[in-house]
Amino acid sequence: MAHCHWRQRRKDAVEHAEPAPADAAIVDRLMRPIVPTGGRAEYRWRGGASDWQLSAEAAFNTLDNASSLFVLLPDRTFTEIELVGGTGKVAEDRYEGAITWGRAISPKLALQGSLGGEYSQLSQSGPLGQTRSFVRPKGFVAAAWKATPRLDINARLERRVGQLNFSDFLASANLGRESADAANPDLVPPQSWDAEVETTRNFGDWGTSSARIYGRLISDIIDQIPIGLTQESPGNLGRAVVYGIEWNSTVQLGNLGWHGAKLDARLQFQNSALSDPLSGERRRISNDLVRTVDISLRQDVKGTDWAWGGQVLQMRRSPSTRLGEISVNYETSPFDTALFLEHKNVAGLTLRGSVRNLIGANDFLDRTVFVGRRGGPISFIEARNRSVGPTFSLAVSGSF
């Protein structure tokens, strides 16, 4: 495996290459950060029993990037390797307009809807540059129903247009992982139909609980695709589906005699599927959420300015899938645990001290790299178990 070094510089800075092994490589990158420019205007009025809104928005984003790739030769000099498509300028002019309507149908039922569209022009300079424009409809319909004084049901169906990562248009090299992405000037924004139903139950002094069921049908989803016989890049695939359930609850523990204490819980379980561009088999979206378990406890000690609490957290994501490798990153311990102690009046300020990773969860990476494409012989396996240890923090908030 090659020893690699990463060097990045701004336009107004110059760095000299540091001594490196004979098989080292260096990426020299000059990048102007994306600075969005735009504005939004809204006009609202009431017509009879209905609320209306007209909105218009414009946004202009530009990424200007120059990259070069160098390899250190045995005589300690660097020679440049061609990085086709690594230098260029990507710009987007985006305009959006919508009209939104809302009305209470009855004391228990309200409806809302929006109809609009988005026009965008994407341009890219450089050897692979081109200019394209897109017109995409978007909007939503939503209903809010108060089924009982303590039960609310909300439903929503929305047509969404996603945004693109401008860096995906240009070629890049990741020396730490010994991987590279080719330029892809043909990227188009993904679109999706999003649907969800959420119910919220109020239990009075005991707290609240809500459950949400959701699904997304995505077209032109972005994942790794083949470029030529040996290269790959972020690109558009066909359709993908995402679905899941999320549950949020707050339990007030004062009714059990534990005054000032409450328990918050959030559970989310999600699945996804798309057709792999190599095998055609169904698999999860790369690096997609699998589950989240987040449980926290807080007690504001009665008659004092003190509060304390803790948290148990677990988050898992699907493997990151490239055409020549599969990797998964997770914590070796089942849960990340934390405790905090807070004082709400120190000279008018709130001081909060906390410690995370109490049980010593390590950061683990399991990465399998193949010779050529996935499914062929394995080139090497990287297994990294990095000790993290506890993390201490002190936060001060408030105003004088």
Q: Where do the structural domains in the chain lie, given as residue ranges?
A: 39-61+86-398
Give the pLDDT of residue 12.
30
Q: Which region, left, alpha or beta, applies to residue 290 given φ > 0 means left and ψ of -120 to 50 means alpha?
A: alpha
Give the pLDDT of residue 20.
38
CA 13 remoteness from chain centre: 31
Give the pLDDT of residue 34.
59
Residue 58 in contact with residue 94, Cβ under 8 Å?
A: yes
Assigned CATH class of 39-61+86-398: mainly beta
Give the pLDDT of residue 181.
85
- What are the average pLDDT values for consecutive 10-residue runs of the chain, which has 400 residues? 32 32 52 71 93 95 84 85 82 94 95 96 81 93 96 97 86 79 87 98 96 97 87 90 98 93 97 93 94 96 94 93 89 84 92 90 88 88 86 88
Helix or strand run (H / E) with residue 279: none
How far from 179 is each of 2, 130, 171, 187, 299, CA to CA, in Å? 12, 26, 11, 20, 49
Give the pLDDT of residue 239.
93
Give the pLDDT of residue 8.
31
Query: Pick from 52, 217, 219: which is nearest to 134 by CA?
Result: 219
Q: Which region, left, alpha or beta, applies to residue 360 given φ > 0 means left and ψ of -120 to 50 means alpha?
A: left
Write the pLDDT tens digit of every residue in 84-139.
788 888 889 999 999 999 999 999 999 999 999 999 998 888 777 788 999 999 99
